Amino acid sequence: MKNQPIIEKSTLHPRNNHCSRYDFETLYLKSPELKPLIFINEHEIETIDFSNPEAVKSLNKALLKTHYGIIDWDLPADYLCPPIPGRADTIHYIADLLAEFNNGVIPIGNQIMGLDIGVGANCIYPILGNALYAWSFVATDINSSAIENCVDIIEKNPHLNEVISLQQQLNPRFIFKDIILPEDKFAFTICNPPFHASKEEAAKSSSRKVSNLTQQKTTNPVVNFGGQNNELWCEGGELAFITQMIYESVKYPFQCYWFTTLVSKKDHLKSIYKTLSKIDAAVVKTIEMSQGQKISRLVAWTFLSEKQREGWIFPTE
């Protein structure tokens, strides 16, 4: 296994639309519901209350409408509302991975297929991947309500109809089984796995986030930050989920160029690398991404040899 060094980043990807402060005037002109939620903070800077879920959702709506061509987007109560700048960063770094053995050219077009594991109710990775690079997606989740909300988002944005296919994973014991079919060929998989090992651990983490934003203790973290059980935690937590994903990926070595996952906890990397070594991944890459004070990591692996990677022909429209 060739394990390449971590590339540390202190800012968002240079192609990210959100490298500078939010232009709130432009945003509320596109999405007027955001305007009453904007205020001037003690540093005389326009902002919103990031501990207020409605404010965060309104900001997301405005960002998606302004930068990504999404007419109508919404979430049911108690589902994760994703930070769009960070999610866009992941898409840009995956684009760089695909370009590496494509003569440095990012493959663009709806013939480039991604697989989103755990799409949630927000459908955010397929939306961004299509808006930024015109990619198509198969998006999966174990939660039928999440899938139903993604259907609603797609119906309200008809240009997504032909480029996002939704599939419920009916057996929560598996990740890729019954999702990757023999005829499938994915350029990449993408996943933001559940962080926590229990509901209690997830609740404590959400409470800390709210306390950090408001400087006050909270007894209702779910209302503030949202998230269904399967979005926030699974037995064994992030490490167990990623370990299972790695072992399952062995069964599909030639149907996917890059398998990727976010890793929130740096301490998990050593174990993840050990597992990837056991299954003889040909190349492993880790990219460190930064959004303000939050650091996350994108770990990617492929089973394709150098010759096989060079022979992988990315289709074009």
Classify residue 215 by burial, with Cβ atoms within 10 Å: 0-12, 13-18, 19+: exposed
Superfamily of domain 2-11+78-311: Vaccinia Virus protein VP39 (3.40.50.150)
| Beta-sheet pairing, 294-302 with 186-191 | unpaired
What's residue 5's pLDDT? 54
What's residue 300's pLDDT? 98
What's residue 293's pLDDT? 72
CA nearest to 81, candidates 117, 47, 121: 121
What's residue 234's pLDDT? 53
What's residue 313's pLDDT? 83
Structural domain boundaries in the chain: 2-11+78-311
What's residue 194's pLDDT? 86
What's residue 200's pLDDT? 52
Note whether 280 and 73 are within 8 A (CB): no
User: If the chain, 317 residues long, is cut into consecutive pieces of 10 residues, what is the mean pLDDT of each piece?
Assistant: 55 92 95 96 94 94 98 91 94 95 93 97 97 98 96 98 97 95 96 67 46 48 46 69 97 97 94 97 94 85 93 78
What's residue 226's pLDDT? 52
Question: pTM score, two decimals?
Answer: 0.86
What's residue 215's pLDDT? 53
| Beta-sheet pairing, 136-141 with 113-117 | parallel
What's residue 220's pLDDT? 47
What's residue 79's pLDDT? 86
